[in-house]
Amino acid sequence: MKSFSAKFAWFDGKFVRSEEAKVPVMTHAIHYGTSVFEGLRGYWNSKNLNIFRLDDHIKRFRNSGKIYSITLKFTNKEISNAIIWLCKKNNVRQSCYIRPFYFVGEYGINLNVTEKAPTHTAIVMFDFGDLFNKNGIKAGVSSWRRIQDISTPSLAKMGGNYLNSILATQEAKRNGYDESILLDHLGNVSEAPGENIFILRNENIVTPPSSSSALEGITRESVIEIVQNEGYKVIEREIPRTELYLADEVFLTGTAAEITPVISIDGKKVGNGRAGKVTKQISSIYSNITMGKNKKYAHWITAVY
């Protein structure tokens, strides 16, 4: 399938040519990372483009800005409609990634950001396939620790927060891994740079709590509901690093990563070194949901056309 290049973006309430969506060099977000973002996927099933959990993403979008007193000037409905109409404007008929974001504009070098600071809102989209190999990836535990709520709010999807993720990713690539796993400030498992993490051990599915600096991921939340409906027990608790080496299965979840099996950690095989049975089961269910083939979860899907 040919890739597409979106001709249009949405900027402060208007559809503009993508190349015309520009900001001044004194934009506050460029200097200090005062930007809020979300990532959504649109799934093309040969008949329609399905946006996964649109309303839930927009709710988190607004809440992240509230933490930093950064104002989103548009209503949730206006943002949702803008996303849908941008897909139509670009005539998207293949799977894509959608990135809405808002940020502090020209505000000098003032660090006292308030609700009255000028903000801009934009939405862009682009062609997007698999982020990782769906047969499994190799991960390594990072020497960098995940940001902690005692210094930086880890539940906000802020642009500046992801400098932490960049350091961990760079280290993973240098060491020959596909992805890294970050520990929290106590040395317990937190998450990957852009994904939540789950382990299967003793027939229970375990994932770190938000107190371990794990983002309240929407895919994470979806997987918890799916696996519970399939009869598995899900436990949210602290996971010591050593448990990663004892797990029967490990997988990552995220909008970009979807459901990604981890087949080795720090050079040690996870299970038999292949994607596990439970991980493949969850991945298959998730794929059917996003393609609009599972009526039980139809409320998670917003059709564009």
- HEC string of 233-298 equals EEEECCCEHHHHHHCCEEEEEECCCEEEEEEEECCEECCCCCCCHHHHHHHHHHHHHHCCCCHHHH
- 1 occurs within a structural domain: no
Q: Which of 97, 127, 157 is the last residue of a domain?
A: 127
Rounded to whole angstroms, the Cα distance separating 191 from 176 reads 19
**CATH number (domain holding residue 219):** 3.20.10.10
- Domain of 242, in residue numbers: 137-290
Q: Which of 127, 151, 171 is the last residue of a domain?
A: 127
Which one of 116, 157, 277, 293 is the catalytic residue? Answer: 157
Pairing of strands 189-191, 301-303: unpaired
304 neighbors 51 (Cβ within 8 angstroms): yes
- 300 occurs within a structural domain: no
Token pair in block for residue 166: 């960049």
83 neighbors 100 (Cβ within 8 angstroms): yes
Q: pLDDT of 107-139, one tens digit each?
A: 999 999 999 999 999 999 999 999 999 999 999
- 64 occurs within a structural domain: yes
Q: Which of 107, 127, 147 is the last residue of a domain?
A: 127
**Structure pTM?**
0.96
- 197 occurs within a structural domain: yes
Residues 154 and 231 in one domain: yes
134 neighbors 261 (Cβ within 8 angstroms): yes
Residues 216 and 93 in one domain: no
Q: What is the pLDDT along the chain (305 residues), one digit of tens a residue?
A: 567 889 999 999 999 999 999 999 999 999 999 999 999 999 999 999 999 999 999 999 999 999 999 999 999 999 999 999 999 999 999 999 999 999 999 999 999 999 999 999 999 999 999 999 999 999 999 999 999 999 999 999 999 999 999 999 999 999 999 999 999 999 999 999 999 999 999 999 999 999 999 999 999 999 999 999 999 999 999 999 999 999 999 999 999 999 999 999 999 999 999 999 999 999 999 999 999 999 999 999 999 99
Residues, the chain: 305
Task: List the one residue out of 194, 56, 44, 35 whose CA is nearest residue 127.
Answer: 44
Residues 147 and 281 in one domain: yes
| Known catalytic residue at 157 | yes
Pairing of strands 204-207, 233-236: parallel
Residue 43 DSSP code: E
Structural domain count, the chain: 2
Residues 112 and 248 in one domain: no
Tokens 């998450």 locate to: 191
**CATH number (domain holding residue 76):** 3.30.470.10
Residues 141 and 118 in one domain: no
Rounded to whole angstroms, the Cα distance separating 235 from 245 reads 18
